[in-house]
Structure 1
Amino acid sequence: MTPPSTTSWTASSATTDPCPKPPTMSDPQERTQDVCEIRSNFHVDTKVNLTPAAYPRPRVSRDIEQFVQGLDLNVDDLLDRPTLKVNTVPDDQPLASYYISSSHNTYLLCRQLIGRASAAAYTHVLERGGRCVEIDVWPSNKGLVVTHGHTFSQAIPLDSVLSAIAEAVGPEDWPVFISLECHVPLAGQEELASMIKEKIGDKLVLGRNEDLGDNAATPKDFFGKILLMVEYFMPPSLLGEEVEEESSSSSSSSSDSEGASSIWPGRRKRKEPKPRISDSLAQLGFYCRSMKPKKGWFTENLVDPAHILINISESGLGALLPAALTDLVKHSNNYLRRVFPHGMRITSSNLNPITAAWSNGSQVAAMNWQVYDRGLELNEAMFVGSDGWVPKPAALGEPVTRKVRMKVDVKGVSAIPLLNRKGGTVDMYVRAYLFTTTNAGEKKWRSTNVKLKDVPEEGGDLSLEGDGESFEWEFEDIGLSFIRFNVWEAVFGRDNKLTVFCGKIEHIRNEISSDPAHNGWRFVRMLAEDHGGTYTGCTLLARFHFTDV
């Protein structure tokens, strides 16, 4: 790789500033205050269904209480039982054998194009188990900053972001990746590389670990460490023709050009080659050489150099499906792959990680953690109770030989946080959705409407008649199946979605099979949809029964 120019350069010497708003101060006290605020506004209580005893005791309606007692079960005992039971995660498999909980544009606290950003967002994501965060680095007249360039999003100093990441990674933590999107000119990358090494210190993985073979790296080899994803470009001399310079952007871009004429970036027309990444920066990304692919990449054996990571948009990858599914899964057995949201998701909505990433073997599905929507609910359900790494299903890519029949009985819901705060009667109903590798919520069930009284400060109670209502689904399951419950308020025009539960079916089945005494019945804790996944005391009483078909 061509060495960087020796011309003197600093971040503040840049002639253009992509940041319409000045960066916030790099003040540790201010960051601490931001962390507390973000914890309050963005925390998600997914773990309540894994460790219910750690949360306040919920109120159960009288109808539900009597129904449980009629089953010869104890209400308090049933309330103590979790709905989920997760598996132990081995730490000695190749890096490509795991799914990794990931954040997209981690610094943002709102939408993509305008709004606030904070270094404390990195602390929050890492505390919640995120193991891959993103940094978009730009030069500005305030120094090197992190921002969503050419938008009205706020900019924050790079040094505060790096410090926040380093401080959040403990010596026993599973490895953390930083996806680096570098918009700093070549001459300024020496300063960038020096700052990264200085702020992260000995937690940063620098180059090759001589004790490891190129295909032998596992998570346990990098506990307490931070690995940098640095964009990699094949040297022009190896391409056999000159290349055209193009953006190294890895965030919301819709111009991946996966249909171009080569697997290597930029082979469109002849132009004097220009290096894009300096040697000093490239050396920091030895185990994560991030490449934007071109046509045919998923059938290539990318062994020289080692540790290629494919960085591709959801639209670019989606264009290859379903035709290339088998090849994509096979390719992911040897190479990491990061999938980031399409550029048109300007409201920071999330992709469906099952269909966009996990089912085709992609390990890193970059999610917008500031938006609690269906995509993030699925991500939370996948990684709940883990350290941000979970193994891929053994059956991924294999012919499906097993189907599961799941029967669910729903009796009712207690303490629903209603929107009608004036009291009175409202119509409510429950919905359930199935998400699998081949089903994106099309299989669904809806209960009958129930009129109930809104009790201010206590919420509403919904009880279905008799023994409740049931539904039964039969589906192919390779370990990537999820169920989602919602409680809805029926109103004129558009119904209000009030509470949600999203769980991995494997986790539910683990728990039910470990406790035959309660005959499959569980109090499912429901999270508030309009308060970003917080637990408000709402519970849904349901019975789960599973049969292998």
Structure 2
Amino acid sequence: MQQGTLMRKVKSKSWKKQRYFKLQEDCMTIWYQSKRTGKTESAFSISDVETVREGHQSEVLQSVAEEFPPERCFTIVFYGRRGNLDLVAGSADEAQCWVQGLRQLIEVATTMDQREKIDQWIRDWFQKADKNKDGRMNFKEVQRLLKMMNVDMNEDHALRLFQDADKSESGTLEGEEFVLFYKALTQREEVLSLFREYSEDGKKLTLLELADFLREEQLEDEGTEELAMELIDKYEPSETARARHVLSADGFLMYLCSLEGSIFNPQHRGLWQDMSQPLCHYFISSSHNTYLIEDQLRGHSSIEGYIRALKRGCRCLEVDCWDGPNGEPMVYHGHTFTSKIPFREVVSTLGKYAFKTSDYPVILSLENHCSMEQQEVLAQQLKDILGEQLLTTTIDGHVPSQLPSPEELKHKILLKGKKIGRLEDTLDGPGDEAPDVSDDDNEAEAEEERRRAKVRTQPGSALQKDKETLAQALSDCVIYCKNVPFRGFQEARSHSRPSEISSLSEAKARKLIRDEGNEFVRHNAWQLTRIYPSGMRTDSSNYSPQEMWNVGCQIVALNFQTAGMEMDLCDGLFSQNGCCGYVLKPPFMRDKETLFNPSDPSSREGPGPITLTIQVISGQQLPKVANSKEGAIIDPLVRVEIYGVPADQAHQETKYIENNGFNPRWDETLQFQLHVPELALIRFVVEDYDKTSRNDFVGQFTLAFANIKPGYRHIHLLSKDGTSIPPSSLFVHIRITEPPGPEQD
């Protein structure tokens, strides 16, 4: 790989060009250049690569399958929304060499600790700035490097740091000298003063001093001495200090920058919620127009859309099916110029990727526009390809009185669509009777059900119409998610079943939230509701999912292909609980008789509002704004946004710091009142201040309030795409103040 290899880069059946690929000496960067011009086209870091797929595992490589055998083909898949790189090697051996090599390097990149990541980051910058590639850097090169790193430093100060680091007095920095220079540059005064506050001699923290810090500042309440011991073993770089059970200032900084020192409670990263409640008690990560990776008028339909959504933990996918040539149903956005993919390919992809990120059920939301003949094909392909994964009967053969839990439906794919008649009509055995409704309360309902059953089988009735337009085989695949029109909460309460689901447009949902908020919350305590974006959003933009979650809507479908605040909220909510795509709703949203209404926070039983105090202290190595002018340095500000019930919606921001994206200091305190903290999401946004136009986005991080750890914490920023941008971070102090309890007499 370091010698370099000539391979074909394939973009389509007609675009296949030779490129020279080479792994750089740092073993972390790959660049490639045109064979014809010899110009370096592009470079990418191993840390940007998510995985490598062998063979014809992309649509592009499938399109050239007849030309190139699978053993010579592979696909490099990047994090975020960046397109794949499809390659054809000259031989099977060459392909294997790259596939195995890349996999090993990805393994190394993902298991690096914080110190190794920073060392790697320093080396990357050194290589970028070392223009003449002699492994040394003169002062002019260092000045250019500082500009690239977002630092506008006084020349005298920069020269002083440079001379201090130039131990060999050669007028250049090499290797270790550059590391010294970087350390001086990144001296964290705010961390050092915190360290000295708890250290008696200012040089080290003893085991007991560290335990005091963890208890008093980080509010770690259990086993603080054991935890202190663990942290010293894990983060102290000096062996002698480790042996003496003390933590140096370097080790202290390493701890604060680690996952344990992050704002996100590490215990909530894994599966931490009860997964045995009915499906309707969870928020479910849901995608709209999943097959699109661009806009919905001219965008490209791709199975890649399904792979990306499933890898992000999405558990409800949308499939628009239309009649295709040769009796093969196709998936695309009807009446538009989007490209088409065979339904068979979508189902195969689903079978392969459904449970790679999460074991919990996937709901396939079927938009069926097919003829009766091709509906039969849909049903056949679902059964043939998915086999046991497709749920084709209730889990116990009985009519459900409530929906099963994610736990009971593990590794199952549920079809959501229209169904002929009722679920009981398709079940055999002891559960196939209509529910026993002999007690007085339900007599009227039973009478009404008999009347409706009569109407349903008359010519022209909905049932009759379904029988004429829906293939029985496809209808039989719909078990727990039968699509029914929404005719108001009263109608739903008296006639609907837990296995029925209604889909509402965002506008219809907003009206119901405004007019009947409490009824909506109650409805969602026992039945599923799906919300989808307005048809006017031809650019595939998104609505804010928060107001839908506020009334307990479970399936709030968003365009995953469109980055922005709305997807940040979605990623923020579902980044907890093992990224399994299911998040348990708060207790007051799971009770059918709840009085909660999001527009009136006092309807939630419990103590009054809590106070969230955020001290924004500093920023570290913030990235430059995409497409910014050469040498431009950002003027960063931090905005904290609260999303939740209307009374909690708020945002506040710090002042901006001029010309410093490298180590800005704000030292500002922002304070918020949260009336319904259980529903609140907190979004930290860094922007580049611009007095003449809109501020530019720099980075963000969003999490549910329930996952916040108090104390001194780092927030590791994400790009617009939701991918990490190490080592960019914010350093904050978080305090959560509960309301005082009832006064004692």
| Global fold match (TM > 0.5) | yes
- TM-score, normalised to structure 1's length? 0.79
Residue 414 of structure 2: aligned partner: 227
Partner of 1:370: 561
8 Å CA contact 2:677–2:705 kept in 1: the answer is no
Residue 82 (str. 1) matches residue 262 (str. 2):
yes
8 Å contact kept, 1:39–1:124: no
Give the match for residue 338 of structure 1: 530
Q: Secondary structure at the match of 2:469?
A: coil
Secondary structure in 2 matching 1:479: helix
Structure 1 residues 439 and 97 mapped into 2: Cα distance closer, same or farther (>3 Å)? same
TM-superposed deviation, 1:528: 1.8
Return the alpha-carbon distance in structure 2 between the equivalents of residues 471 and 101 of structure 1.
Answer: 31
In structure 2, the residue matched to 1:287 is 480
The answer to whether the Cα contact below 8 Å between 1:243 and 1:273 also exists between their aligned partners in 2 is no
CA deviation after TM superposition for structure 1 residue 37, in Å: 5.9
Q: Describe the SS at the equivalent of 2:277.
A: coil
Quick one: percent identity of the two aligned structures? Answer: 24
1:460 match: 662
- 1:222 Cα deviation from its structure 2 partner: 1.4
For residues 307-334 of structure 1, the C-alpha deviation after alignment (integer angstroms, 9 at most, x for no partner) is 1011111111111122211111111111
The one-letter amino acid of 1:494's match is: R
CA distance in 2, matches of 1:84, 1:100: 21
CA–CA distance in 2 between the matches of 1:437 and 1:99? Answer: 16
| Alpha carbons of structure 1 residues 359 and 41: separation in structure 2 relative to 1, 3 Å | closer
CA contact (8 A) 2:420 2:466 kept: no
1:128 aligns with 2:291: no
Query: Aligned partners of 1:288, 1:505: CA distance in 2, in Å?
Result: 31
Q: 2:678 aligns with which of 466, 470, 479?
A: 479
SS of structure 2 residue aligned to 1:153: coil
Cα distance in 1 for residues equivalent to 2:61 and 2:677: 43
Q: 1:174 aligns with which of 331, 341, 360?
A: 360
Partner of residue 292, structure 2: 108
**Structure 2 match to 1:14:** none
Q: Is the 8 A contact 2:486 2:502 kept in 1?
A: yes
Q: Scaled by the length of structure 2, what TM-score is found?
A: 0.59
Task: Provide the residue aligned with 2:619 in structure 1.
Answer: 413
8 Å CA contact retained: 2:293, 2:561: yes
User: Which one is further off, 107-116 or 59-68?
Assistant: 59-68
The verdict on how the C-alpha distance between 1:32 and 1:166 changes in structure 2, with shifts beyond 3 A counting, is farther
**Distance in 2 of aligned mates of 1:226 and 1:241:** 30
The code of the aligned residue for 1:89 comes to Q
Q: Does 1:359 align with 2:566?
A: no
SS at match of 2:588: coil
- CA 1:394/1:52 → structure 2, altered by over 3 Å: closer, same or farther? farther
Q: What is the CA–CA distance in structure 2 between the aligned matches of 1:501 and 1:278, rounded to whole Å?
A: 46
Which residue of structure 2 aligns with residue 404 of structure 1?
610
Deviates more, 1:388-397 or 1:194-203: 388-397
Which digits, 9 at most, give the CA deviation of each residue in 1:349-399, with x for residues without a partner?
2221110x2111111111111112111111111111331111111123532
Does 2:387 match 1:201?
A: yes
Amino acid aligned to 2:57: Q
Q: 1:521 is matched by which residue type in structure 2?
A: Y
Larger Rg: 2
Instruction: Report the Cα distance in structure 1 between the residues aligned to 2:348 and 2:618, rounded to whole angstroms.
Output: 48
Match of 1:42 among 81, 85, 94: 81
| Alignment-derived partner of residue 489 in structure 1 | 688
Quick one: which of 480, 500, 525 aligns to 2:700? 500
Q: Distance in 2 between matches of 1:64 and 1:241?
A: 78
Partner amino acid, structure 2, of 1:541: F
Out of 144, 148, 157, the residue aligned to residue 333 of structure 2 is: 148
Displacement of 1:300 after TM fit?
2.6
Match of 1:539, SS?
strand
- Equivalent position of 1:517 in the other structure: none
Asked if the contact 2:624–2:633 (Cα under 8 Å) also holds between the matched residues in 1, the reply is no
2:653 to 433, 437, 446: 446
Matched, 1:97 2:285: no
Matched residues, number? 474
Cα distance in 2, alignment partners of residues 320 and 52 from structure 1: 49
Structure 1 position 77, deviation (Å): 1.2
Runs of 5+ consecutive residues of structure 2 not aligned to the other structure? 1-12, 14-54, 63-73, 84-110, 123-182, 196-248, 423-451, 597-602, 740-745
Specify whether residues 395 and 338 from structure 1 end up closer, same or farther in structure 2 by C-alpha distance, changes over 3 A only.
Answer: same
Shift of 1:99: 1.0
**Residue identity matched to 1:294:** R
Aligned with 2:586 (options 388, 393, 396)? 393
For residues 273 and 414 of structure 1, the distance between their equivalents in structure 2, rounded to whole angstroms, comes to: 60
CA RMSD across the alignment: 3.2
* Inter-CA distance 103–413: structure 2 relative to 1 (3 Å threshold): same
Matching residue within 507, 514, 538 for 1:322: 514
Q: In the superposition, relative to structure 1, how do residues 238 and 82 fare at CA in structure 2: closer, same or farther (>3 Å)?
A: farther
- The answer to whether the Cα contact below 8 Å between 1:43 and 1:532 also exists between their aligned partners in 2 is no
Give 1:137 deviation, angstroms: 0.5
**Structure with higher helix content:** 2
Q: What secondary structure, in the 3-state scheme, does the structure 2 residue paired with 1:501 have?
A: strand
Q: Which 10-residue stretch deviates more, 326-335 or 214-223?
A: 214-223
Check conservation: 1:369, 1:376, Cα contact below 8 A. yes
* Secondary structure, counterpart of 1:541 in structure 2: strand
User: Where does residue 502 of structure 2 map in the other structure?
Assistant: 310
Contact 1:528–1:536 (Cα < 8 Å) also in 2: no
8 Å contact kept, 2:683–2:703: yes
Unaligned runs of 5+ in 1: 1-21, 45-50, 246-264, 454-458, 513-519
Aligned residue identity for 1:414: Q
1:238 offset after TM fit, Å?
4.7
What's the CA shift for 1:212? 5.5
- Quick one: which amino acid aligns to residue 65 of structure 1? R
Contact kept, 8 Å, 2:610 with 2:677, in 1: the verdict is no
Q: Distance in 2 between matches of 1:383 and 1:221?
A: 20
Q: Which has the higher contact order (CA 8 A, sep 6+)?
A: 1
> Hey, what's the Cα distance between the residues in 1 that align with 2:190 and 2:707?
26
**By how many angstroms is 1:295 displaced?**
4.0
- How big is the shift at 1:347? 1.5
